[in-house]
Structure 1
Amino acid sequence: MNYMPGTASLIEDIDKKHLVLLRDGRTLIGFLRSIDQFANLVLHQTVERIHVGTKYGDIPRGIFVVRGENVVLLGEIDLEKESDTPLQQVSIEEILEEQRVEQQTKLEAEKLKVQALKDRGLSIPRADTLDEY
């Protein structure tokens, strides 16, 4: 097998099932149909998988185009081991509710942390007020 540098090495992964972790934290699972020199991806029969604790739910997304700069991780899924998971699949409605509760809990914990620091005379600048350059 010849070594191909960069994204050219992914050509042999076309038409295989892949998991893609995005910069915003979302997880996509689908069949890799196309890739270019910028690592832009086209996924087919894509689902967005949401994990909360030991449960997960899949939201059908169809054909999905992902800009290469948003890809954190790309990995092939072993179809023989795919069903060997300790996670429990639940309905879309249930996983979205679990996700909402988890996010609300994190937000409340963050507010308590900020208040505790404020009570001690410390403050953390909010991320949306920081310059991005």
Structure 2
Amino acid sequence: MSFLPGTASLLDELDKKLMVLLRDGRTLIGYLRSVDQFANLVLHRTIERIHVGNEFGDIQRGVFIVRGENVVLLGEIDDERDAGSRLVEVSVEDILDAQRREQEARQEREKRLAKALKERGLTYLPDLTHDDLF
């Protein structure tokens, strides 16, 4: 198939195993079953992969519909390279606990930064997105 600009080029990816990075930071891995003109995706046998450091855990999600505007990055998974990864798979409970600890540490760092900036007469605005501004 010749290259078509825009979402039409996603037709070549149908029935392939893809990794999709969402705007909210989540990572989904699943088989692309459908795509439309707005780049809305239907993923089948989807897992949500959570990374913390060199560990990861997979949560089974099944069929997942993703609005095209929420897709940041999309790419095909190479199973051979995935198998040779240096990441260590842990249980869902362990990765969720590690993620919670990581988020708490990030919040504590942001709190200290906000306090230090406030002492200097500055304001800290964490993680502003376009949607937060309007």
TM bucket normalised to smaller = over 0.9
Q: Deviations over 1:72-110 (max 9, x none)?
A: 000001122221100000000000000000000000010
Shift of 1:5: 2.2
Change over 3 Å in CA distance of 1:131–1:54 after alignment to 2: closer
Q: Superposition pairs for residues 49-128 of structure 1, below 5 Å?
A: 49-125=49-125
One-letter identity of the residue aligned with 2:57: G
User: How many angstroms apart in 2 are the aligned matches of 1:84 and 1:109?
Assistant: 34
Query: What TM-score do you get using the length of structure 2 for normalisation?
Result: 0.91
One-letter identity of the residue aligned with 2:133: E
In the other structure, the counterpart of 1:18 is: 18
In the other structure, the counterpart of 2:133 is: 132
Query: What TM-score do you get using the length of structure 1 for normalisation?
Result: 0.92
Q: Superposition pairs for residues 24-35 of structure 1, below 5 Å?
A: 24-35=24-35
Instruction: Give aligned pairs, total.
Output: 132
Q: Deviations over 1:48-91 (max 9, x none)?
A: 00000000000000000000000000000112222110000000
Cα-Cα RMSD: 1.8
User: How many angstroms apart in 1 are the aligned matches of 2:133 and 2:120?
Assistant: 28
Shift of 1:131: 6.6
Shift of 1:25: 0.3
One-letter identity of the residue aligned with 1:92: V
Change over 3 Å in CA distance of 1:64–1:51 after alignment to 2: same
One-letter identity of the residue aligned with 2:56: Y
Query: In percent, how many aligned pairs have the same letter?
Result: 61
Shift of 1:42: 0.3
User: How many angstroms apart in 2 are the aligned matches of 1:50 and 1:4?
Assistant: 33
Stretches of structure 2 lacking an aligned partner (at least 5 in a row)? none
